[in-house]
Amino acid sequence: LSRLESGSAGRLVKVFLMPPSKKQKREVAAAAPPPSKDDLVVGDCKYALNQLLLALNRGQLYAAKILKMRKVGLNWEYYVHYQGWKARWDEWVKEAMLYPDNEESRKVQNELSARLKESLASSNGKSSQPGDDFIHTVESTKPVITLIIPHTLQVHLMKEAEQVHSEKLVPLPRSPSVKEILVSFVKTNNKPPTSVEAEILKEMTDGLREYFDKALSMMLLYQQERNQYEKIRRSKGKTPASEIYGGEHLLRLIVKLPSILAKANVSEVTAKNLHPRLVEFLRYMGKKANCFLLTEDE
């Protein structure tokens, strides 16, 4: 079936009311304009051109739009424009810094904003509490390494913050402990104990354990966890913190590690050796999150 309608220059054109034939489909396809680059779908990337989403910038999530995209090695990077900002702030960001614009991401955005306000308020008159802003710490000392926390672990940090502020603390002692997690990481690399790589990994994990034992009370606890810390310290005596606390607090240390290493004046050579192994450890924690980190129901 078809009908006649008025076309350009007063000519009558035929409009098909039934599904078009193969010939008609070919005619339509030939007359259609070629797709623009914005219409093209790239196979293995998570986001698309012109997509609206949330982007992490200086510890906060902002509404943004993807203007360009490129593949660097095996990873995607996106050139984003922050909504309401001047174009000079447009920048390339890694895929891990982007969040889909959905309810869960908006919750993370609101929590980050609330934590920032709390941190700013505490800095006006009172010193900020250890543990403020585990997602992103701005330091005057330039970090010698940069670590991107996987999205799943960032979400865990924010949900854990909500739990702690609701007085729902991580039960202690934890199993597996920090020490056990670090030992298991070394074992999963399947390197001969006498190999150079095995020695480097053991040295790194031993160092992380020492850092954890020293840093816990100074910078890894929320104010709400102070009483719990004092009680466990009295009951456990000289037992190292790395044998009492678990993945939740170890993750907080990893987030703060770049600024800790910067203040410790770690050499560039040491930093370059550490960086790929710390990245691998973060991947390991992300894969084993269900084993190492408590869920909301636990």
Q: Pick the closest to residue 203 from 219, 185, 217, 190 (CA basis).
A: 185
Mean pLDDT, the chain, rounded, equals: 77
253-279: pLDDT as tens digits: 999 888 888 777 677 777 888 889 999
Question: For residue 11, what pLDDT is reported?
Answer: 47
158-179 average pLDDT score: 91
**pLDDT for residue 198 is more than 90:** no
**Fold assignment, 107-292:** Enzyme I; Chain A, domain 2 (1.10.274)
**pLDDT for residue 113 is more than 60:** yes
Domain boundaries, the chain: 2-32, 52-101, 107-292
25-41 average pLDDT score: 44
**Fold assignment, 52-101:** SH3 type barrels. (2.30.30)
Question: For residue 31, what pLDDT is reported?
Answer: 47
Question: For residue 230, what pLDDT is reported?
Answer: 93
48-59: pLDDT as tens digits: 999 999 998 767
**pLDDT for residue 34 is more than 70:** no
Q: Is residue 51 within 8 Å of 66, Cβ to Cβ?
A: yes
Return contacts of 114-121, CB within 8 angstroms, 24+ apart: 115/161, 116/59, 116/60
72-97 average pLDDT score: 87
215-260: pLDDT as tens digits: 998 889 998 999 999 999 999 988 999 999 999 999 999 998 888 8
| Confidence band for 142, pLDDT divided at 50, 70 and 90 | low
- The angle subtended at Cα 292 by Cα 157 and Cα 188, nearest 5°, is 125
Question: For residue 137, what pLDDT is reported?
Answer: 40
Classify 103 as helix, strand or coil. helix
> What gap in Å lies between CA 216 and CA 208, rounded to an integer?
12
Classify 100 as helix, strand or coil. strand
Q: What share of the chain is helix, strand, coil (3-state, %, to 5)?
A: 50, 15, 35
Question: For residue 159, what pLDDT is reported?
Answer: 87
Question: For residue 184, what pLDDT is reported?
Answer: 94
Phi first, then psi: give them for residue 67, nearest 5 degrees.
Answer: -100, -35
183-192: pLDDT as tens digits: 999 988 877 7
